[in-house]
A and B are shown apart, each in its own frame.
Chain A
């Protein structure tokens, strides 16, 4: 057990920021992002204790939990749409004033645009450009072929650019 715990502790340290970001860009508040991210790792730990090494791709596993939780969350709130930039900011409130000033102004528009593209495009953009996952990894996460993922990435970027033109 202590070995599993140590292993999962390392996994937590490695993926907590990615999962948090993935969730934060889909929900309307920091509190919800924290609750859901925390729940992702709690469920991940329960499964990890039972399955351990049987989990082949822990990153894909955690993202899948996050997606399921977000789906549940959307159902519960009956708001399956991405959070509007009108009532939330892209900057994590926990950051310092300097950090907020640095990234706040430029990125509001990007987040607003992300809010208006479809969910698959949004996920692919987050994974490919923010988290720098490779195409084969995204293919595993989405269940699509690698060429199909490349096409989706291209279309997602075009869709985002189109939205930015509107914002």
Chain B
């Protein structure tokens, strides 16, 4: 037999094959008694998390957004209140000088509302913290108003400052009713509130002086100035509100 022919016949022996059934059965026998899979991993149960590396930044963003969102519902004394304060600081920092005063007053009002909720919930342990936070915001608002120069052109900010000051007075009265005590009892807070009234009145008077007023309004402004000069800042502010509501 020629070599080529012999090799061809040898290669034909490849056609010898086991039966398919036996191949399957034999394989099953090998793995019989072996656990189908090892302890299932977290990612096999939740294949979604197999992409954890790619999802990590997205999840982080959602967590941060959720954290900041949740923090907005907190009150002074709560665990995440510092996060809320941080976002508010950024908010104030990004405002223009005029807007900064209005924003600071808004924040003071917010603190006062939180103080009211704490008082209503009878969370006495958080009351002192809340009063202190309110005082800090009042001081900040007074400080930003003191540094503000009235030019008589920005009526929006003027109205906003007036509205927030009015709201602050009303809120304070309402909460004092709930508490059954005056909020400005402490020297620090009392001074801060007086300063706020003084700076607000000073700013608003300076602003109104640069505007064209009718004779009656001019007279009212004169009375407001007299009150201001006598140290009756609250009375002065009331007259200014009358002017602005006309």
Whether B30 lies near A20 (C-beta < 8 A) is no
Instruction: List A residues 148-167 near B (Cβ within 8 Å).
Output: 157, 160-161, 164-165
Set B10, B15, B22: member contacting A125, Cβ < 8 A = B10
Partner-B contacts on A (CB < 8 A)? 1-2, 5, 8-9, 12, 16-17, 20-21, 24-25, 33-34, 37-38, 41-42, 45, 90-92, 94-95, 99, 102-103, 106-107, 110-111, 125-126, 129-130, 157, 160-161, 164-165
Chain B residues lying within 8 Å of A9, measured Cβ to Cβ, are: 27, 31
* With known contacts A1-B35, A17-B17, A92-B19, A106–B12 Cβ distance under 8 A: yes
**Cβ of A104 to closest chain B Cβ, rounded Å:** 10
**CA–CA, A130 to B98, complex, Å?**
93
Binds A, one of B1-9, B180-188, B209-217, B224-232: B1-9
CB of A16 within 8 A of CB of B30, answer: no
Closest to A44 in B: B30
Closest-CB distance, B12 to chain A (whole angstroms):
6
Interface size of B by CB at 8 A reads 27
A interface SS class: helix
The smallest C-beta distance from A110 to any residue of chain B, in angstroms, reads 5
Q: Are B34 and A164 in contact (CB under 8 A)?
A: no
Residue of B nearest to A129 (CB): B10
Residue in A45, A126, A160, A161 whose beta carbon sits within 8 Å of that of B30 in the complex: A45
Q: Which residue on chain A has the smallest CB distance to residue B44?
A: A2
| A1 and B38 contact, CB distance less than 8 A | yes
Chain A residues closer than 8 Å to B27, beta-carbon distance: 9, 12, 16, 41
Known: A2-B38, A12-B30, A161-B1. A34 touches B6 (CB 8 A): no
Residues in B whose Cβ lies below 8 Å from that of A91: 16
On whether the beta carbons of A129 and B18 are closer than 8 Å, the reply is no
Q: Are A111 and B18 in contact (CB under 8 A)?
A: no
In the complex formed, the residue of A with least CB distance to B27 is A12
The answer to whether B15 touches A94 (Cβ under 8 A) is no
Given contacts A110-B9, A125-B10, A164-B6, contact A38 B29 (CB under 8 A): yes
A selection of 28 A-B contacts at a CB cut-off of 8 Å is: A1-B37, A2-B36, A2-B37, A2-B38, A9-B31, A12-B30, A16-B18, A16-B26, A20-B17, A33-B18, A41-B27, A41-B30, A90-B13, A92-B17, A92-B19, A94-B18, A95-B16, A95-B17, A106-B9, A107-B9, A110-B12, A110-B13, A111-B13, A129-B10, A129-B11, A130-B11, A130-B14, A165-B1
Q: A110-B9, A110-B10 are in contact. Are A103 and B15 (CB under 8 A)?
A: yes
B23 at the interface (CB under 8 A from A): yes
Nearest-neighbor residue (CB-CB) of A91 within chain B = B16
